[in-house]
C-alpha cells in the first residue's frame, strides 16, 4: 500500500478540480478506494489554498 500511495502522489500531484466537489465521506478521486477524508482531503486543501494565494495577480 505504501508504494501505491507513493505512485498516486507522484502521478497525481495535483488533484482534479472535481476534488473540490467531493464530500468527506465520498470515495477519493485517486482511486485508492478510501474515503476522501482519510486520503487526499488534507493535502488537497493545502494544494487548493496555496494555488489560490499564489495565483492572485501574477501579472
Ligand atoms: Zn486519495
At 16, list the grid cell: 482534479
The structure's pTM equals 0.64
Q: Is 14 left (phi over 0), alpha (psi -120 to 50) or beta?
A: beta
Q: Kindly write down the DSSP assignment for every residue of 5-32, as one continuous string.
A: HHHHHHHTSS--GGGGG--TTSBPTTSS
For residue 39, is it within any domain? yes
Q: pLDDT tens-digit profile of 4-51?
A: 767 655 665 678 888 889 999 999 988 889 999 999 999 899 888 888
Best CA proximity match to 30, nearest among 56, 52, 12: 12
**Could you tell me the residue range of the domain that residue 27 belongs to?**
2-54
For the chain, report the end-to-end CA distance as a whole number of angstroms. 42
47 inside domain? yes
- How many domains would you assign to the chain? 1
Ligand 1 center to 28 CA (angstroms): 5
Judge whether 59 lies within some domain. Answer: no
Q: What is the CA(36)–ligand 1 centre distance, in A?
A: 6
In the reported structure, the alpha carbon of residue 16 is separated from the centroid of ligand 1 by a whole-number distance in angstroms of: 11
Amino acid at each position: 500500500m505504501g508504494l501505491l500511495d507513493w505512485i498516486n502522489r507522484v502521478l497525481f500531484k495535483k488533484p482534479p478540480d472535481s476534488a473540490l466537489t467531493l464530500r468527506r465521506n465520498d470515495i477519493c478521486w485517486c482511486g485508492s478506494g478510501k474515503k476522501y477524508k482519510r486520503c487526499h482531503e488534507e493535502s488537497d486543501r493545502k494544494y487548493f489554498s496555496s494555488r489560490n494565494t499564489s495565483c492572485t495577480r501574477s501579472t
